[in-house]
Homo-oligomer: A and B are copies of this chain.
Amino acid sequence: MTKPFLAALAGQRQKRPPVWLMRQAGRYLPEYREMRAKAPSFLDFCYTPEFAVEATLQPIRRFGFDAAILFSDILVMPDALGQSVSFETGEGPRLTPIETAQDFARLSEAPDWAKLAPVFAAVAGVRARLPAETALIGFCGAPWTVASYMIAGRGTPDQAPARLFAYRHPDLFSRLIDRLADASADYLARQIEAGAEAVQIFDSWSGVLPSAEFERWCVAPLRRLVARLRAQQPDVPIIAFPRGAATHLGRFAEVEGLAAIGLDTAADPHVAAAMLPARLALQGNLDPLALIAGGAALDAGVEAALEAFAGPRAHIFNLGHGILPETPIAHVEQMLARIRA
């Protein structure tokens, strides 16, 4: 029997939608927080297979989600390309920003695969331990989103540093984006070799660009990444999550080789569906804050999502953004009971 999550990605609508949550492995789980305290840093945690495997499995054991997503971070890519990356508790990521052609020249041409070996070991470890009905998702950040951190050296509310850099140094920025697209394709291919059964590409900051820049820095790099990945792994189902892409959703989804589009919280499922080719499955898009609020607001949000994605397209239930650390576990249970009723 095909796993329900993979069947949905193949376009087969399931009787009840398969469900997983972005960031389902992580800080809202006490068992995760306890384990996290044992590693000296967040990157150490990501690069220690026993930690990454266990963190990936924790939400599966607790909630029986239809898919596990590897515990890792999109910023292992700049780390593997030789940029300095660290995570300050409560402050988010810090990177040595790329501000000049010299900074760019210091990056490696290709990722240091030895550095990423623990990630692939974790993928294999998870796959060996997953229940038969549960699928394993690998992932990476989209080139634009990863580049926005590499240029700014940190998370930024509007990605202004990367946007300005791209306006001022389009050729250099283009070389960075191409390098990320190629490296990310190869990175996903190796995750699949190690056991990932589907991949998601997170373009978390795609919602800030004008049309021409969206085409150049989001759509074209996705096309390049997907083509290179499929040349190595022709059959892997690919989910793209262009958060905030909004009126640009149609162009993003035109990229050949996608299986599904993840919709963010603010996307109207009906309007978005009308923009997207019928062959694509849809994933989303409960408000993570409704999951924090619980009660009637949560019930209403779950019902609204179930109705909005009522078909005939295949639907994968998810949030419209990552689950937040302060989310009560009882609310996740309430949500699941309703989806599975």
Contact = CB atoms under 8 A, between A and B. Distances in A.
B160 A157 contact: no
Interface in A251-302: 251, 265-269, 271-272, 275, 285-287, 289-290, 292-293, 295, 297, 300-301
B209 A266 contact: yes
Nearest to A273: B247
Contacts of A208: 265-266
A209 B320 CA distance: 10
Interface stretch (A15-23, A44-52, A105-113, A161-169): A161-169
A42 interface: no
Contacts of A248: 266, 268, 271
Contacts of A214: 266, 268
A37 interface: no
Contacts of A207: 207, 244, 266
A30 interface: no
Contacts of A157: 157
Q: How large is the interface on A (under 10, 10 to 19, 20 to 34, 35 or more residues)?
A: 35 or more
Contact of A168 (B168, B212, B297, B301): B297
Contacts of A271: 247-248, 250, 275
Contact of A246 (B163, B213, B266, B286): B266
Nearest to A308: B211
Interface string A1-27: 000000000000000000000000000
Contacts of A269: 211
Interface of A: 157, 160, 163-164, 167-168, 170, 207-214, 244, 246-251, 265-269, 271-272, 275, 285-287, 289-290, 292-293, 295, 297, 300-301, 304, 308, 320
A10 to B, nearest CB: 26
A246 B267 contact: yes
A211 B268 contact: yes
Contact of A160 (B212, B267, B289): B289
Nearest to A297: B167
Given A210-B266, A266-B208, A266-B210, A167 B244 contact: no
B247 A163 contact: no
Contacts of A268: 211, 214, 247-248, 251
